[in-house]
Amino acid sequence: MPNHRRLDIAIFGSGAWGTALAMTWARQGAHVALWGHPPEAVRELEETRRHPRLPGAELPPNVVPLSDPEPAFHAPIWISALPTQISGDVWQRLAVATTLRPELLIHVSKGLLQVKHQRLSEALGPILGVPIGVLSGPSFADEVARELPTAIVLALPPEIEEERARQIQALLATPRLRLYLSRDIAGVELCGALKNTLAIAAGLVEALGFGNNARAALLTRGLAEMTRLVEKLGGRSETATGLAGMGDLLLTATGPQSRNRRFGEMVGRGTSPADATASMGEQVVEGVYSTEAALSLAKHFGIELPITLEVARLIKGADPQEAVKRLMQRSLKSE
């Protein structure tokens, strides 16, 4: 274990994405603590130096897997790589385990909290009492772990002054992981959530054999829904048309690694939503949880999300053909 003072980054969550980021930053010389649960999974990661969902990639020696979070608390920057729906509960426990706090916590999770309909920065800020940023965009963990070129967005809060924000951007960027700096935390988080819902719809279109025309229409109109939600909740339209929005939507709606797209495809072919979710094992289909939260926010702010509405019905067991029929037969509008 490196000396506490030598830790540069602590990652909380040793799933595929957290581990891929640990590999990426360690290859650039950073000393990275990687905390995870359960302890037996962390021991296996420590012994094999490999993650089961990242074939062909090995942990550099300066990544230290931990089942005890205490050493990780000494890092100046914390990264939260936990599944969205459990992030608040886990950080409630971690926050009372230490009086230490980082300069900044950056979360890399995509989704809205199902119960409170919050973005993660809204939930984690009061728990930790520190600035909360977000790292998001078109990125599959296995490709990042294999050092394939990737470009994503680092959104930082106003408490982090511009000079320091640029320093953090430079610290976390690598020759193979390009980071674009943003201040639109709300927009980046909302895009990361809604693109999962739209990817479920894309999987449905694919399963039903509706062709490329339908997929293009779906993604274009889905981007319009994303933009409406982002703007109404205080984000910027250019975020929706950038890497965090359109970029991540294109990847998640078309990439073979996308759990949300696969879920939609399975349901479209007749698998029940419950069985489709169960087939993913430990991997979370985040769009299942974020869809209702997005609809609730849309209702509160008086905006229409017709594709999101049909995905919500699909998750509850509605007929996929009927969902598409309702979308196609909506009253005609101007673009």
Q: Which residues are catalytic?
A: 195
Task: Find out whether 91 and 23 touch, Cβ atoms under 8 Å.
Answer: no
Backbone φ, ψ for residue 148 (5° rounding)? -80, 145
Nearest-angstrom CA–CA distance, 205 and 261:
10
* CB-side neighbour CA atoms (13 Å) of 89: 7
CA distance 48 to 39: 14
- The answer to whether 245 and 258 have CB atoms below 8 angstroms apart is no
Q: Give all strands (DSSP E) within the chain, no chain letters.
A: 9-12, 32-35, 63-66, 77-80, 104-107, 132-136, 150-155, 177-182
Strand order in the sheet with 32-35: 63-66, 32-35, 9-12, 77-80, 104-107, 132-136, 150-155, 177-182
CB burial of residue 158 (10 Å; 0-12, 13-18, 19+): exposed
Q: Strands 77-80 and 9-12, how do they pair?
A: parallel
Q: Rounded to the nearest 5°, which phi and psi values hold at 11?
A: -110, 125
Ordered DSSP codes for 127-192: HH-S-EEEEESS--HHHHHTT--EEEEEE--TTS-HHHHHHHHHHH-BTTEEEEEES-HHHHHHHH
What are the residues facing 136 on neighbouring strands? 153
